[in-house]
A and B are shown apart, each in its own frame.
Chain A
Amino acid sequence: NAGVTQTPKFQVLKTGQSMTLQCAQDMNHEYMSWYRQDPGMGLRLIHYSVGAGITDQGEVPNGYNVSRSTTEDFPLRLLSAAPSQTSVYFCASSYGTYNEQFFGPGTRLTVL
């Protein structure tokens, strides 16, 4: 099993550009989520999904879109990148929020 994979590992964007962070898991988990990690802020939930076709907002959803067309994939889209979105992004999957979350290796994003 590959577990949770994320691409790319590093990305530099200019303000206003858009991009998609990819996340995939091969554990047949229904629950998937995106977090951003900023110094001193811990991990903050951006969006989550409890199954294919179902998504909802987390704590800091502004500027991000998600979709879940399959159980395996949960991409995160930045519509118009801003310097405030410079962060490390983690994707996670699990059987539910009451279970161990399996995290991807993270994507380090810099917006200039």
Chain B
Amino acid sequence: AQKVTQAQTEISVVEKEDVTLDCVYETRDTTYYLFWYKQPPSGELVFLIRRNSFDEQNEISGRYSWNFQKSTSSFNFTITASQVVDSAVYFCALSEWGAQKLVFGQGTRLTINP
């Protein structure tokens, strides 16, 4: 069965610090997709990234970067030089090939203090 664990319930840092959000997943499938979504205080859910299980290249998008390591079943998300606007709840999610279900982690509430 597919499972996603985000062990960090809440993180609080000062602006401009780097911060890493952890995501550990469980799956018996060899083909699967991993996602990150952001939920700002306004409540909507915003897609950030998708990664398939055959692509272990790290991804960088501006201040955001993602580290996918199949050996440790992790898909961690790093924000460099954090800003107050990065304050949100971040969700990691997993979809196994053929499962037709997307499973979310519990979410990490990130607070960036000025």
Contact = CB atoms under 8 A, between A and B. Distances in A.
B101 A48 contact: yes
Q: Contact size class for B?
A: 20 to 34
Interface of B: 4, 6, 9, 33, 35, 37, 43-45, 47, 50, 52, 91, 93, 95, 97, 99-107
A40 B106 contact: yes
A67 interface: no
Nearest to B47: A100
Given A40-B9, A42-B91, A90-B45, A99 B104 contact: no
Contact of A97 (B37, B47, B101): B101
B55 to A, nearest CB: 13
Contacts of B44: 103, 105-106
Given A42-B104, A43-B91, A99 B45 contact: no
Nearest to B46: A103
Contacts, number: 58
B100 A97 contact: yes
Contact of A105 (B6, B37, B43, B91): B43
Given A42-B107, A50-B100, A92-B45, 20 more contacts: A31-B100, A33-B102, A41-B106, A42-B4, A42-B6, A43-B91, A45-B102, A45-B103, A48-B100, A58-B101, A59-B103, A97-B95, A97-B99, A97-B101, A98-B50, A99-B50, A100-B50, A101-B37, A101-B45, A102-B47
A90 B4 CA distance: 19
A42 B106 contact: yes
Nearest to A108: B43
Interface residues of A, number: 27
Nearest to A94: B102
Nearest to A102: B47
Contacts of A42: 4, 6, 91, 104-107
